[in-house]
A = this chain, B = another copy of it.
Amino acid sequence: MKPLVQKYGGTSLSTAEHVRRVAERIDAARQTGRPTVAVVSARGDTTDRLLADAKQLHPHPAPRETDQLLATGEVASAALMATALHRRGTRAVSLTGAQAGIRTTGPHGAALIDTIDTRAVRAHLERGSVVVVAGFQGIDPAGELFTLGRGGSDTTAVALAAALDARCEIYTDVDAVYTADPRLVPQARPLPEIAAPLMAEMAFAGARVLHARAVELAAVRNVPLLVASAMHDRPGTTITGGSPIGMLEKEGFVAAITHDADIARFTIRLDPDDPERPHRALRAIADQIIPVDLVTWADDRPALSFTVAGAAVHQARRQVELAVPNAGRDVAVQRELSKISLLGTGMLTRPEYAVRVLRTLEELGVPANSLHTNQLRVSVLVPAEHTAAAVAALHDEFEMDRPRPDPVPTS
């Protein structure tokens, strides 16, 4: 039978009672006869506590030492989960990222999974053990330890599922993928399914449900993926494979609205004498694997601009300053912006959506900083304080509280 990889987030492991409940769920999955791997995050606020310990000693702890430090949270969590499974009489073994054969590449704090040597995991599965893997981490060939960045345990789970040809279930603190954040929009609907490329775009546009890299990997490697609540028995959202165009009729054109209320926008003035400058700036940022979005550069504009997460501003600015001489004069950074995105398909062929977005914001009195469109989304930047009102108004404008009609078969 195809193996199963389940991933449980830190909130669902915060107390002994939580750990026991998750152990019960893992055990129930195992009893269906599927070889079962559980990927776990650090418990509760462990990661934040460890980071605070480091910050008490240094304002900017070195990324290498931060990795050595933070990776312990997931290892401890995995050992405790194996212990809870033993208490239920279930064979189980915990593995660190290194022991699970997870090889990484790239910088400390934001490494990418390179390969997985699944021999140890498979050997334990064949002996009938549940294998509990510490998420978020791996080693390079020299034995150096790396973490995958925040939310990286999702990526660990999907990568393991891809390597084991397994189904992947991500259990988290939300019930499902919603048409918008239910905390901002009470009418938001859970989506029973969504196409993987659209989900990846949503994650990138700020939906916190799944780590963007995890969804991309699931899409590329065709891993069946479910997102559901770690605490409740609700159906969750199935991330379906296939092209987003196939989903067009089924989900309607606009599937969901996401927002990311902590965005900064860099604008780098072009210099006719140094045409390579914007290229170098973006390259310097990519070298540190800082995700950028909404890159804009047009023939008739004297500047290049892009956005990064608020948390990455410090690092991004350092990289830009390395790459751009006279950065002080030629680089501007706007902070406290919110990126609000309409997710769907065929956005480029339906310019009326962009127009409706701008009109809705205008009626609300929210100034739009800029608007960007690609095939899967329309994103607009607005001052962060208007996030809630803008998301609610757009959810209403596009009537997203109403379930879509039955899919019309495409010819």
A: which residues have CB within 8 A of B?
16, 19-20, 50, 53-54, 56-58, 61-62, 64-66, 68-69, 71-73, 75-76, 78-80, 82-84, 86-87, 93-94, 96, 98-99, 120, 143-145
CA distance A78 to B72 in the complex (A): 11
A44 to chain B, nearest CB (A): 11
Name A54's contact: one of B79, B96, B144 (CB within 8 Å).
Answer: B79
Name A82's contact: one of B53, B65, B76 (CB within 8 Å).
Answer: B65
Name A19's contact: one of B57, B73, B99, B145 (CB within 8 Å).
Answer: B57
**Contact between B83 and A62 (Cβ–Cβ < 8 Å)?**
yes
**Contact between B68 and A145 (Cβ–Cβ < 8 Å)?**
no
Known: A62-B86, A68-B78, A78-B68. Contact between A53 and B96, CB under 8 A?
Answer: no
Give 16 A-B pairs besides A54-B79, A58-B83 with Cβ atoms closer than 8 angstroms.
Answer: A20-B57, A50-B76, A53-B80, A57-B87, A58-B87, A61-B83, A64-B93, A65-B83, A68-B75, A68-B76, A68-B78, A72-B73, A72-B75, A96-B145, A99-B145, A120-B143
Residues of B within 8 A of A62 (CB): 82-83, 86
Chain A interface secondary structure, helix, strand, loop or mixed?
helix
A244 to chain B, nearest CB (A): 41
CA distance A58 to B16 in the complex (A): 10
Residues of B within 8 A of A50 (CB): 76
Residues of B within 8 A of A73 (CB): 72
A49 to chain B, nearest CB (A): 10
6 A-B pairs closest in CB distance = A72-B72, A69-B79, A68-B79, A16-B56, A58-B87, A57-B84
Residues of B within 8 A of A143 (CB): 98-99, 120
**Contact between A65 and B94 (Cβ–Cβ < 8 Å)?**
yes
Residues of B within 8 A of A83 (CB): 54, 57-58, 61-62, 65-66, 69
